[in-house]
Amino acid sequence: MRLIVTGGAGFIGSNFVCRAIRDGHWVLTIDKLTYAGRLEALAEVMPSPRHRFLKADIADVSAVEAAFRDFSPDAVVHLAAESHVDRSIDEPGTFIATNVQGTFVLLEAALRHWSRFNGKKFCFLHVSTDEVFGTLDETGSFGLTSRYAPNSPYAASKAAADHLARAWHTTYALPVIVTNCSNNYGPWQHAEKLIPTVMRHAMANEPIPIYGTGNNVRDWLHVDDHVAGLMAALHHGRPGETYLFGGRCELRNVDLANSICRVLDELAPLSTGGSYAQQITFVHDRPGHDFRYALDPSHAENVLGWKAHGQMDIELSRTIDWYLTNPQWLIPSKVAGRLGSRTAESIRAIS
């Protein structure tokens, strides 16, 4: 299968592209290479004759049209997105431009491409988030009939993109599949996300910032499980359907932070003998901070034969060990020298 993968140099995208090449597909990766996209994540596949890379903005009509014309894909896996909630509060326009306008440009290009080939077998796989549904209280989970109620500019931009994708299926019959996932974790994730952020502050002997009381709950899904779900939807999903990928692994933010600290205590112990958990500090909560997310993946499990297999305790330890071994992914460039040295010393101490 010939796949265009947008955002393929990002966290989930790079994991998907590497899996696709290993599975024998031909892939054109399109990525703007903003701060969150890094070619190092694609090092495994860059030499492959079945992989091509295009640096382009998905909102660039000419670039996208040329990519469809030259590569002639059988499917699009649309992962490109601005994705950090905190940044969306400060820079909402960037999120609208990429997540909404960019999705519109892709849908239009896909529709023209599909129409040129008289409706040949094709799929537009639109990858989204659980945040489009808003927030939950202490019970229940989001399902296929949950209403959209986004509470951040990021969530609103992704909700708009979901609606566009569905509309292009209903109005123009474009074969669209929508997926929503819970919080991903694993190798290659950007340093701004929760797990690497906790690690970065811990290893730098700095306060570990946790919003509010730390009681906000997230459902965690290993990126490999998510990629397996996307592959299942691509090969076995039905156009017009939505599939929810959740890990059935809910944790309070403060509990996850404590778990990370316990693993660090074992893998990179402090010379003082204390615990990194002593550095956990509660900071002023961010605006509109959703209390709890949880997805019911039953439909995807039953229809696609998919299931999340990652065990959080095991995979979290592996993820932390990966970051310790690859500190350049843990550290923003402005503190890379200082923190990188500390991480390297910790690795040497346990090797």
Would you name the residues annotated as active-site residues? 130-131, 154
Residue 289 is given by DSSP the state -
**Contact status, residue 49 vs residue 27, Cβ threshold 8 Å:** no
Give 116's contacts (C-beta < 8 A, 6+ positions apart). Answer: none
Q: Which residue has the tokens 């190092």?
A: 40
Distance CA 306, CA 316 (A): 21
Distance CA 77, CA 83 (A): 16
Taking every pair of Cα atoms in the chain, the longest distance, rounded to a whole number of angstroms, is 69
Residues 22-36, buried b or exposed e (16+ Cβ, 10 A)? eeebbbbbbbbeeeb
Structure tokens at 326: 């690859």
- Give the SS3 label for residue 274: coil
DSSP state string for 40-61: GGGTTTTT-TTEEEEE--TT-H
Q: Which residue has the tokens 């979901």?
A: 162
Distance CA 312, CA 322 (A): 15
Q: Which residue has the tokens 């030499």?
A: 47
- Give the SS3 label for residue 179: strand
Distance in Å from the first CA to the final CA of the chain: 43
**Contact status, residue 95 vs residue 250, Cβ threshold 8 Å:** no
Query: How would you classify residue 119: left for phi > 0, otherwise alpha for psi between -120 and 50, otherwise beta?
Result: left
- The letter for the amino acid at 124 is F
